[in-house]
């Protein structure tokens, strides 16, 4: 029975990966084409060729040695050195498996990783994974190619932490210690835990870090009113504790809204102090393939605009 259940779960996960692949590849090759490349640039430039000078070229790029040798002006041409290293620091805690959306926070997070990871592989960048619960559960070394990225998506869906609890500090500290070269880091979590600000600050000093906060409908202040659904039985995915909640009560709704707003403000304040940018991705109430793409593209646009601000 246990083996049959495991086989069924694996088949479901592989089916989910294939569905994500089909939807994500269409989106990456369409609306996301070029956006990733323009925002996450290489670490420097490398020499490409020497060619003859033409009108409009920058005179500062003239190669005087070649020019003197052949008797007419030549310039050195450089291209951007891409070769980016991209890591997903992925939260496996049980809270990522809950929520009142069309997908769980984990399923939504896997789609986010697929969009960003396939954009990276399309630009020939290397991608890796640091998956954590209460401790780091798996490290996937950097590699290139769509098949490698899809294995990472499978891990995001299939891996289970050794305990229900999450510890973002463990994932961030591991990323700071284990990844020596400056990399692009996407920290994908619901950010329900506390005490991670110093670890985020330290990681942000070493790497280009973006915090991706996956927001289930019940954790999004602007969608809070959708929870007016009468009496509900809720279970904490980390502790297993269950209780009945009457969402018809104005007092209950007000108290919960206040707690959500305080948590939201605390997360953003900690990220500002850590000098790390935040990308909020709401879990959709109705499943649509482009639900995760819209906030990513908006983040790309905002980041691109900030690059050109004086």
Report how far Cα 20 is from the mean position of its chain's Cα atoms: 15
Give the pLDDT of residue 283: 93
Domain boundary residue among 57, 81, 105?
Answer: 81
Question: Using CA atoms, how far apart are residues 121 and 86, in angstroms rounded to an integer?
Answer: 10
Q: Check pLDDT > 80 for residue 56.
A: no
Give the pLDDT of residue 2: 47
Taking only the tens place, the pLDDT of each residue in 207-221 is: 999 999 999 988 875
90 shares its domain with 196: yes
For residue 215, CA distances in Å to 186, 222, 245, 254, 281 come to 16, 11, 21, 19, 6
Give the pLDDT of residue 62: 85
- Least confident span in 69-83, 143-157, 160-174: 69-83
- Contacts within 8 Å (CB) and 24+ apart, 7-15: 9/158, 10/158, 13/154, 13/157, 13/158, 14/154
273 inside domain: no
255 inside domain: no
* E strand segments, 27-106: 44-52, 74-81, 85-91
Taking only the tens place, the pLDDT of each residue in 100-115 is: 888 999 999 999 999 9
Report how far Cα 26 is from the mean position of its chain's Cα atoms: 19
Highest mean predicted confidence (pLDDT) among 5-14, 116-125, 216-225, 239-248: 116-125
167 or 78, higher pLDDT: 167
% of the chain exceeding 70 in pLDDT: 87
241 inside domain: no
Give the pLDDT of residue 151: 94
For residue 304, CA distances in Å to 29, 39, 41, 88, 138 come to 20, 6, 11, 21, 33
CATH number of the CATH domain containing 116: 3.40.50.410
Q: Chain-wide mean pLDDT for the chain?
A: 85
Domain boundary residue among 53, 81, 109?
Answer: 81
184 shares its domain with 56: no
Report how far Cα 61 is from the mean position of its chain's Cα atoms: 38
Tell which residue, 277, 100, 96, 269, has the closest CA to residue 189. Answer: 96
Question: Using CA atoms, how far apart are residues 131 and 156, in angstroms rounded to an integer?
Answer: 8
Burial class of residue 241, CB neighbours in 10 A (0-12, 13-18, 19+): exposed
291 pLDDT band (50/70/90 cuts)? confident
54 shares its domain with 183: no
Q: Please say whether the beta carbons of 38 and 25 come within 8 A.
A: no
Report how far Cα 247 is from the mean position of its chain's Cα atoms: 32
57 shares its domain with 199: no
122 inside domain: yes
68 shares its domain with 210: no
309 pLDDT band (50/70/90 cuts)? low
147 shares its domain with 194: yes
Domain span at residue 65 reads 44-81
Give the pLDDT of residue 228: 59
For every residue of 233-284, DSSP letters joined together read EEE-TTT--EEEEETT-HHHHHHHHHHHHHHHHHHHHHHHHHT-EEEEEEPP
127 shares its domain with 172: yes
Q: Please say whether the beta carbons of 106 and 131 come within 8 A.
A: no
48 shares its domain with 150: no
Give the pLDDT of residue 299: 92
Give the number of domains in the chain.
Answer: 2
69 shares its domain with 134: no
State mean pLDDT over 123-136: 95
Structure pTM? 0.82
175 inside domain: yes
74 shares its domain with 187: no
Highest mean predicted confidence (pLDDT) among 71-80, 108-117, 237-246, 297-306: 108-117
List, in sequence order, every residue forming a beta bridge with 244; answer none if it has no partner: 233
- Least confident span in 3-7, 32-36, 181-185, 300-304: 3-7
Q: Please say whether the beta carbons of 164 and 148 come within 8 A.
A: no
254 inside domain: no
10 inside domain: yes
The set of residues, in sequence order, having a beta carbon less than 8 Å from that of 137 and lying 6+ positions away, is 92, 131, 159, 161, 162
166 shares its domain with 303: yes
State mean pLDDT over 194-203: 97
Q: Check pLDDT > 80 for residue 81.
A: no
State mean pLDDT over 127-147: 96
Helix (H, G, I), strand (E, B) or coil at 91: strand
231 inside domain: no
Q: Check pLDDT > 80 for residue 156.
A: yes
Give the pLDDT of residue 191: 97
Give the pLDDT of residue 31: 65
Give the pLDDT of residue 78: 60
Give the pLDDT of residue 131: 98
144 shares its domain with 291: yes
Give the pLDDT of residue 125: 92
């Amino acid at each position: 029975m246990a083996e049959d259940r495991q086989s069924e779960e694996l088949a479901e996960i592989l089916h989910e990966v294939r569905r994500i692949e089909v939807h994500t590849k269409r989106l990456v090759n369409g609306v996301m084409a070029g956006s990733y490349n323009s925002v996450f640039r290489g670490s420097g430039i490398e020499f490409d060729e020497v060619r003859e000078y033409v009108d409009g070229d920058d005179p500062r790029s003239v190669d005087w040695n070649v020019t003197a040798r052949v008797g007419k002006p030549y310039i050195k041409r450089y291209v951007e050195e891409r070769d980016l290293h991209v890591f997903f620091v992925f939260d496996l805690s049980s809270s990522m498996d809950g929520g009142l959306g069309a997908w769980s926070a984990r399923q939504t997070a896997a789609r986010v990783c697929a969009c960003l990871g396939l954009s990276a592989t399309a630009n020939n960048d290397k991608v890796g994974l640091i998956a954590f619960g209460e401790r780091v559960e798996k490290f996937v070394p950097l590699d290139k190619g769509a098949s490698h990225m899809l294995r990472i998506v499978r891990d995001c869906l299939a891996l289970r932490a050794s305990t229900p609890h999450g510890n973002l500090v463990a994932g961030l500290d591991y990323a700071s210690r284990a990844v020596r070269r400056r990399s692009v880091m996407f920290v994908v979590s619901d950010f329900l835990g506390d005490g991670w600000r110093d670890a985020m600050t330290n990681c942000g000093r070493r790497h280009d870090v973006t915090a991706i906060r996956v927001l289930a409908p019940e954790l999004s202040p602007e969608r809070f009113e959708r929870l007016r659904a009468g009496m509900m039985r809720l279970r904490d995915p980390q502790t297993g504790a269950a209780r009945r909640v009457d969402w018809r009560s104005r007092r209950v709704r007000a108290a919960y809204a206040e707690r959500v707003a305080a948590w939201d403000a605390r997360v953003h304040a900690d990220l500002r102090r850590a000098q790390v940018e935040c990308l909020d991705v709401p879990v959709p109430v109705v499943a649509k393939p482009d639900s995760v793409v819209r906030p990513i593209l908006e983040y790309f646009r905002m980041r691109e605009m900030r690059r050109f601000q004086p």
